[in-house]
């Protein structure tokens, strides 16, 4: 199976092409520290044979949390728990990754106020965010840099910058949410300015052996918003310092999305071939056959499974068994196959 082949992600070698994408667990306390739930949750998927495990969206600032129960990476006190996660992942031969993020106007952390490129609510159920000034933007970029440095200190080998799902970086990219008239708004180049700055600064702050990726929403599903062609232009502005682009869609506005098995694969295919970059496909990928179709038809380079791995942490072990590769199954579990 192509899914079980090794893959070079930047300078990091993955034992296979299977990924657990970041999924918020909402299981931290309001200090943002990892706890026993996180240790068990991530270690279980590593035992289960996944090649790359990306820890959930981890906030670079207190007001960057989606909820009060999100993990954080805004203080050195949070490093110890994150290091425990990465250590447990590595112990079983998987690569530990982490997604660093800021929720922007979609933050519902109660003790902080949300910020955004423009003072526009996500919906009536959300608070009005404060439009960021240039000092706020400076602080944000530094927060991403500091978060990346802490991720390295915590032992992660892949860092993913969150630029999708309607969170802060995505809000700057889309003309729907970015109505600024300064150098961070208006033209595509201006709307990309913050993301380009963050990628440049993070890349300069981390060692060469650490892989760097970006999560994007290729479609806003809103007229006048980002679509596949616009995202190709965005990726072309930032791709030189990235090792992979993790392809998603939606989240910018409260609109109905038609989600079906593999509904985002076409976006991964488009970005991969039109931008000439490696991509990670995700989105209701539900079977071995789907995974093999994506990889063998060169539609993406890695395949991420979220909900499937919540239901079945050992899905990858079943793939090793189906392929007759018993060496991919932990010795203690061989009798189960």
We report the CATH number of the domain holding residue 78 as 3.20.20.70
**What number is the average pLDDT over the span 254-271?**
93
Residue 12: pLDDT band (50, 70, 90) is: very high
Checking if the pLDDT of 257 tops 90, the result is no
Average of per-residue pLDDT values in the chain:
97
Band the pLDDT of 302: cuts 50, 70, 90.
very high
List, for residues 121-130, the tens digit of each pLDDT value.
Answer: 999 999 999 9
Is the whole-model pTM more than 0.95? yes
**In three state form, how does the secondary structure of the chain look?**
CHHHCCEEECCEEECCCEEECCCCCCCCCCCCCCCHHHHHHHHHHHHCCCCEEEEEEEECCHHHCCCCCCCECCCHHHHHHHHHHHHHHHHCCCEEEEEEECCHHHCCCCCCCCEECCCCCCCCCCCCCEECCHHHHHHHHHHHHHHHHHHHHCCCCEEEEEECCCCHHHHHHCCCCCCCCCCCCCCHHHHCHHHHHHHHHHHHHCCCCCEEEEEEECCCCCCCCCCHHHHHHHHHHHHHHCCEEEEECCCCCCCCCCCCCCCCHHHHHHHHHHHCCCEEECCCCCCHHHHHHHHHCCCCCEEECCHHHHHCCCHHHHHHHHCCCHHHCCHHHHHHC
Region of poorest pLDDT, from 41-50, 59-68, 321-330 = 321-330
Q: Per the structure, how many domains does the chain have?
A: 1
Residue-number span of the structural domain to which 266 is assigned: 2-336
Which tokens belong to 201? 């600064």
**pLDDT confidence of residue 68:** 96
Angle (nearest 5°) at CA 166 between 158 and 114: 100
Could you tell me the pLDDT band of residue 256, with boundaries at 50, 70 and 90?
A: confident
% of the chain residues with pLDDT over 70: 100
What is the pLDDT, as a whole number, of residue 148? Answer: 98
Percent of the chain with pLDDT over 90: 97
Band (23; pLDDT cuts 50, 70, 90): very high
Residue 326, pLDDT > 90, answer no
């Amino acid at each position: 199976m192509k899914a079980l082949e090794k893959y070079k992600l930047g300078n990091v070698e993955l034992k296979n092409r299977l990924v657990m994408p970041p999924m918020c667990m909402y299981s931290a306390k309001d200090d943002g520290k990892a706890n026993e739930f996180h240790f068990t949750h991530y270690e279980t998927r590593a035992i289960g044979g996944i090649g790359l495990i990306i820890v959930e969206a981890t906030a670079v600032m207190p007001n960057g949390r989606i909820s009060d129960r999100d993990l954080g990476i805004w203080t050195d006190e949070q490093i110890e728990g994150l290091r425990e996660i990465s250590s447990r992942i590595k112990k079983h031969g998987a690569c530990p990754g982490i997604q660093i993020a800021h929720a922007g106007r979609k933050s519902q952390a109660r003790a902080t106020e949300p910020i955004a490129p423009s003072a526009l609510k996500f919906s009536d159920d959300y608070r009005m965010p404060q439009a960021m000034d240039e000092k706020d933007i400076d602080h944000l970029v530094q927060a991403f840099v500091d978060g990346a440095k802490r991720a390295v200190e915590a032992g992660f080998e892949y860092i993913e910058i969150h630029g999708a799902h309607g969170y802060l970086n995505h809000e700057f990219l889309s003309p729907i949410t970015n109505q600024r008239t300064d150098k961070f708004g208006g033209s595509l180049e201006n709307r990309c300015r913050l993301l380009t700055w963050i990628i440049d600064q993070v890349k300069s702050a981390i060692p060469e052996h650490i892989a760097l990726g970006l999560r994007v929403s290729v479609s806003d599903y809103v007229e006048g918003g980002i679509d596949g062609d616009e995202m190709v232009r965005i990726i072309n502005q930032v791709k030189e310092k990235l090792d992979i682009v993790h392809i998603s869609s939606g989240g910018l506005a409260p609109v109905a999305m038609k989600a079906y098995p593999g509904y985002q694969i076409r976006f991964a295919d488009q970005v991969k071939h039109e931008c000439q970059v490696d991509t990670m496909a995700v989105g209701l990928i539900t079977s071995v056959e789907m995974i093999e179709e994506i990889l063998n038809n060169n539609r993406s380079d890695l395949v991420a499974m979220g909900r499937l791995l919540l239901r079945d942490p050992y899905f990858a072990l079943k793939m090793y068994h189906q392929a007759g590769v018993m060496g991919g199954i932990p010795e203690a579990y061989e009798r189960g196959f």
